[in-house]
Amino acid sequence: MFQVIKQEGRARRGLFSCAHGGQVQTPVFMNVGTQGAIKGAISAHDLKELKCQIELSNTYHLHLRPGDGVVRALGGLHRMMDWQGPILTDSGGFQVFSLAGLRKITEEGVTFASHIDGRRIFMGPEESMRIQSNLGSDIAMAFDECVENPAPYDYVKQSCERTLRWLKRCKAEHDRLCAQPDCLNPGQMLFGINQGGTYEDLRVWSMEESAKVDCDGYGIGGLAVGEETAVMYRILDVVLPHAPEDKPRYLMGVGTPSNIIEAVWRGVDFFDCVMPARNARHGKLFTWQGTMNIKNERYKLDGRPIDSGCGCPVCRSFSRAYLRHLFKAEEMLAMRLAVMHNLWFYNTLMERIREALDQGAYGAFREEYSEKLGQRYPL
């Protein structure tokens, strides 16, 4: 399932396997298709061309539309999307955080007001597991609460304790569902989630107690939600030494290229973030020299590709000037091409991280690119 094949300091080079898609090379960035597609008109077929290894979709959104029962009737998410690789489904727990004004939390679970039509929806650990089982994903995430930052210590402590109780309920229901004869994906894995806000003792307690539940991997949630970047790195430094060595570690919702490079250095294996697609839709593109805003006037007559060192389908065929024109003309193609470029960049970034680890040169790679990739493209 997961094997660490090489280490450089705490950075880990690994192999991960699941029911679909053969071996995944880690560290890996999961491309986010919240509702079964990447925003920007990117299909599963495009993802394969863009070197995506794992696709991520969201339990909450697919439960609302088209409905997990519909997805199951269509043969599961893989068949509906025509994606043959691994899929991870988020549990819906992040919506507990992001829809804070539309929900009520109890010991049993969370009652949401749908952001679509306002109807009341209840989701608890068992419901989240059943929905994810209907979707047929390869990795299901445990149902958790992502607390806001900052939050009082006493509330975060209570939330951590409840999230652990929810994890145990998730594990029991997940095991039951996978044993059913009509289970879509009996090989589905379950990842627990570490919480604790920015309180070091709660983070350590959460990881140590979650590890006792013996999940297939562990997410680190509740970071990149408003805290300083240095605080996020401090929490990773504190919590990762307590994570099981033989299980993948997944930093949820992170992040920038620099964040990824720094988190790999600290021992993270899996990442996801909407950033490459979201930024692309607004004309912000990632290059190996830094970020650029393709809408700027300076690119009006620029016949060069976005990044001369990039081999993506966009850079092989189109110029900066053309892409800028498409954005200015508000053509849908602008978003599609920009998203394709940024996803290729992120997936290539992970390739280069793995190559550096293979060569024992990750420290030098980090020194060269960690700060550089966060800067603006040079004039």
Q: At what angle do helices 320-328 and 332-358 cross, to 10 degrees?
A: 140
The SS3 of residue 31 is strand
Give which of 356, 285, 353, 348 is closest to 53, Cα–Cα: 348
Whether residue 254 contacts residue 271, with contact meaning beta carbons closer than 8 Å, is answered with yes
Whether residue 32 contacts residue 56, with contact meaning beta carbons closer than 8 Å, is answered with yes
Give CA separation, 261 vs 13, 66, 226, 271, in Å. Answer: 13, 36, 20, 11
Give CA separation, 36 vs 41, 157, 189, in Å. Answer: 11, 34, 19
Q: What positions carry a catalytic annotation?
A: 90, 272
Amino acid (1-letter code) at residue 292: M
Retrieve residue 62's tokens. Answer: 């697919």
Q: Rounded to the nearest 5°, which phi and psi values hold at 302?
A: -90, 110
Q: d(Cα 111, Cα 103) in Å, to the nearest integer? A: 5
Amino acid (1-letter code) at residue 235: I
Retrieve residue 174's tokens. Answer: 């997940």
DSSP states of 285-326: EEETTEEEETTSGGGTT--S-S-TT--STTTTT--HHHHHHH
Q: d(Cα 334, Cα 229) in Å, to the nearest integer? A: 31
